Amino acid sequence: MGDWMIGDDRRRKTTDQLRAFRRANEDQVAWNTEAPADFTYLYHPDRVLVRRADVDDFEGIARQVGERLFKGEPRRDDVTLLGDALVRYLLPERTEGQSVPEVLDALEEAGLERGKATPDHWVHVSPGGGGNLCPAIEPEETGLKEPWPPREPRLEKVARDVTVVVVDTGWNPTSATDGRTPWLDGVTGDDELNDPAHLRRYAGHGTFIAGVVRCLAPDADVHVDGFCIGGVGGGGILESDMVVQLEEAMKRDPQVINLSAGCRTRMDLPSAAFETFYEEHLRDSECVLVAAAGNDSTAAPFWPAAFPWAVGVGSLDRNGRISEFSNYGVSADVYAVGRNHVNAFPDGSYKCRETPAKGDMREFRTGMARWSGTSFAAPVVAGLIARYIGEHGVSPAEACDKVLARAVYDSDPVVGPHMELRHPFVPAP
């Protein structure tokens, strides 16, 4: 039976998402299971990543087993990643059509230490695997005229200027001058090139997130750095390209970066690209990276949220309980409300692409939308950190500690102990 025939909305939704994602990236997307609805990670079918320190080991073992695996030799890509701290290899045609994971299995059996070479994984907005590639839901219309969570008042005195960079799908410029969304005045970003007649998938994702940050930190300088301009990539980007985007974001000298994107990986090993980015840029900087925990309802690590140096954020419903879709465990250092946010969104016509609403038309005419996912929980925390920096003039690391210290431990019947941000719009348990 074809996977599309399975009578389960969750599986159909994942299959819809994955097929659309593959089309958007010209078939340069592979997954680690036979049925697309069962995937746990996505990767480029012909690339591997190797840290500079491990290049000799990788090339030596690849030569030893090359005739058995390859019709040719792996070659270094002609791009410089993270100051050449990370090397991307292009694999030649394989002798028996082996996948990248099968090639890595063979290299590790021949003596390469596990994790020294990894697939080039696909990173996706509000991402997931094993059940949900995209946001928890598609955007929904709303008649509300004010954002939720609501706007915080401006500070009487700003002790320190704060810059927040939202690395996401791009920016809807008209939202900054729209009288319906005045909290976005002064926000800048890479134009996502919306077509109001046919809003693309993930249109407004970065704008919505910038709106959440600005509602909580109205004095912050916010910039949206776009990686899927005009819909290119279908809301996704390879991790090797994502870290280049993060390098660009660091040039703005931000105190906070919000990344509502991430990925699962082969064997759940740490992402080589994100880890190298941290070592080369973030470790010695005054910048906090806040990342969405993902929407797979799993405790499996989701990168970069699962790294100890990132602030991973899971989602709560308005009643203070963890959202059904939210990841938990190592990927969620803290939980904030992520269900049914209302914030800025471009006007236009949107055709739903996912089961069970696939084919439905939604009309956005109020400058606003309603949306759910860990994507929107993350900027709550990013905004609170930015506000604390501006109010108290402290370092980003100290502000992060202070904000997380406001959280309270609670017990959820499914996931066990977790933290809940105590804030006026988050109900007490």
Position 404 pLDDT exceeds 80: yes
Position 372 pLDDT exceeds 80: yes
97-145 residue pLDDT tens: 999 999 999 999 999 999 999 999 999 875 433 344 545 678 999 999 9
pLDDT band for position 14 (cuts 50, 70, 90): confident
Q: Give CATH superfamily name and number for 163-420.
A: Peptidase S8/S53 domain (3.40.50.200)
Q: Does the domain at residues 3-123 carry the CATH identifier 1.10.10?
A: no
The pLDDT value recorded for residue 416 is: 44
The pLDDT value recorded for residue 230 is: 58
Q: Average model confidence (pLDDT) for the chain?
A: 89
DSSP tally for the chain: helices H, then strands E = 8, 20
Other Cβ atoms within 10 Å of 347 Cβ, number: 19
- Could you tell me which residue, 211 or 67, shows the higher pLDDT? 211
Domain chopping of the chain, boundaries: 3-123, 163-420
pTM value is 0.92
- Could you tell me which residue, 205 or 408, shows the higher pLDDT? 205
Give the whole-angstrom CA distance, residue 90 versus residue 78. Answer: 10
pLDDT band for position 428 (cuts 50, 70, 90): very low
148-178 residue pLDDT tens: 999 999 999 999 999 999 999 899 999 999 9
pLDDT band for position 412 (cuts 50, 70, 90): low
Q: Answer whether 3-123 and 163-420 agree in fold.
A: no
Is the sign of the CA dihedral 336, 337, 343, 348 positive or negative? positive
**Which tokens hold the place of 242?**
């994502």
Position 304 pLDDT exceeds 90: yes
